[in-house]
């Protein structure tokens, strides 16, 4: 039995004490990378081996265009207990597809490589956006995966006392930099932290005047400057290519989202109107 859906932000109550730092971050060095994958390879295993060989701490990768064999996924939904503010849907199965857009945050969980992946794809005439279960993913056709490899900081899963979810947290590894300068940072935004305003504040801590933003997460509703609002307060999101660019002197933050009613939304985030639900896992990279 699932709890009723929240109707206002005040209805969203996380079970634990509120963390003092709402935007924990760790500076790092990011470099553009690519990984070639072949048909029949388990995605998580091949990405982990590749990251080990490349000497990376973590990575944020673009899986757009990757063709997958049959896999499982979940979507955002109401809580199944009286503690969590939200939960996942029952598990859904896909017969396989080509991912139209997808972002993978590659980090660590229980001492092993792990990937948090949100993807957007078409199947049986319908579009879907979901949280892919990484252990079920197998490459169906060869592909070249691109993104950013990270050194000096990593995403590592641990229990978050505030939300009581096991989430990626940022962990600094400055000894891995070996004198290499930092040009990026990773962060995990806390609940109710505005996505747009959080990115803007953190971006000011990077060298230079411009940066790109990459990542995934969840929002408690959202308003868009060029599309209808997402009124459902439980959702999952992915940032699109081009996030972080300046347009008319203003940060551009294009998003895809899906809410608990399976409604799909697309648009540029409105400042102050995109509160984080559970967390947003982000990489900000300074641009030359």
* Mean pLDDT over the full length of the chain: 97
Tell me, yes or no, whether 62 lies in a domain.
Answer: yes
Q: What is the pLDDT of residue 1?
A: 84
pTM score: 0.97
Round to whole Å and give the CA distance between 213 and 216.
10
Residue 4 falls inside a structural domain: no
Taking residue 111's Cβ as centre, other Cβ atoms within 10 Å add up to 7
- Contact in structure between 117 and 131 (CB atoms under 8 Å): yes
33 assigned to some structural domain: yes
Which residues 6+ apart lie within 8 Å of 231 measured at CB?
Answer: 221, 259
CA contacts within 13 A on the Cβ side of 28: 29
SS3 197: helix
Q: Between vectors from CA 53 to CA 50 and to CA 58, what angle results, nearest 5°?
A: 65
Q: Which domain holds residue 58?
A: 9-14+23-286
Is 158 inside any structural domain?
Answer: yes
Q: How far, in Å, CA of 96 to CA of 102, rounded?
A: 14
pLDDT-derived band at 178 (thresholds 50, 70, 90) equals confident
Integer Cα distance of 221 and 231 in angstroms: 5
- pLDDT at 253 (0 to 100): 98
CATH code: domain of residue 55: 3.30.1330.80
Residue 2 in any domain: the answer is no
User: Nearest CA to 22 among 288, 238, 278?
Assistant: 278
Mean pLDDT (whole number) for 54-80: 98
What was the pLDDT predicted at 288?
74
What is the mean pLDDT of the segment spanning 193-222? 96
Distance from chain centroid for Cα 111: 20
Q: Which helix (H) or strand (E) segment is 44 a member of?
A: helix 43-54
Which residue is it, tokens 């199965």? 93
Of the pLDDT bands very low, low, confident and very high (cuts 50, 70, 90), residue 179 is: confident
Q: Name the domain count of the chain.
A: 1
Q: What is the mean pLDDT of residues 165-193?
A: 95
152 lies in some domain: yes
Residue 179 has which token pair? 């004198």
- 197 within some domain: yes
Q: Compute the average pLDDT of residues 15-25.
A: 97
Give the Cα separation of 157 and 107 in Å (integer): 8
For the stretch 234-249, pLDDT in tens is 999 999 999 999 888 8
Q: What is the pLDDT at residue 7?
A: 97
| Tens-digit pLDDT profile for residues 73-98 | 999 999 999 999 999 999 999 999 99
**pLDDT value for 222:** 98
Which whole number is the average pLDDT over 34-56?
Answer: 97
């Amino acid at each position: 039995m699932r709890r009723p859906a929240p109707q206002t932000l005040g209805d969203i109550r996380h079970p634990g004490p509120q963390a003092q730092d709402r935007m924990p971050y760790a500076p790092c060095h990011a470099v553009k990378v690519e990984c070639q994958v072949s048909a029949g390879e388990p995605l998580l295993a091949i990405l982990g081996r590749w990251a080990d060989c490349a000497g990376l701490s973590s990575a944020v990768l673009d899986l757009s265009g990757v063709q997958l064999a049959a896999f499982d996924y979940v979507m955002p939904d109401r809580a199944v207990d009286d503690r969590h503010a939200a939960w996942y849907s029952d598990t859904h199965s896909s017969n396989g597809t080509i991912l139209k857009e997808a972002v993978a945050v590659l980090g660590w969980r229980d001492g092993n490589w792990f990937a948090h992946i949100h993807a957007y794809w078409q199947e049986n005439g319908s579009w879907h956006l979901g949280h892919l279960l990484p252990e079920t993913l197998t490459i169906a056709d060869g592909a070249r995966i691109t993104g950013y490899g990270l050194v000096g900081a990593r995403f590592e899963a641990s229990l978050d006392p505030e939300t009581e979810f096991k989430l990626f947290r940022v962990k600094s590894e400055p000894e891995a930099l070996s004198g290499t300068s930092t040009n990026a940072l990773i962060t995990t935004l806390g609940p109710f932290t505005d996505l747009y305003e959080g990115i803007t504040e953190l971006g000011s801590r990077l060298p230079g005047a411009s940066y790109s933003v990459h990542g995934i997460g969840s929002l408690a509703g959202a308003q868009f400057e060029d599309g209808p609002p997402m009124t459902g307060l439980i959702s999952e999101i992915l940032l699109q290519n081009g996030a972080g660019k300046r347009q008319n002197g203003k940060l551009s933050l294009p998003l895809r989202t899906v809410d608990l009613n399976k409604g799909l939304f697309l648009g540029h985030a409105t400042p102050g109107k995109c509160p984080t639900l559970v967390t947003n896992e982000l990489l900000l990279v300074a641009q030359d």
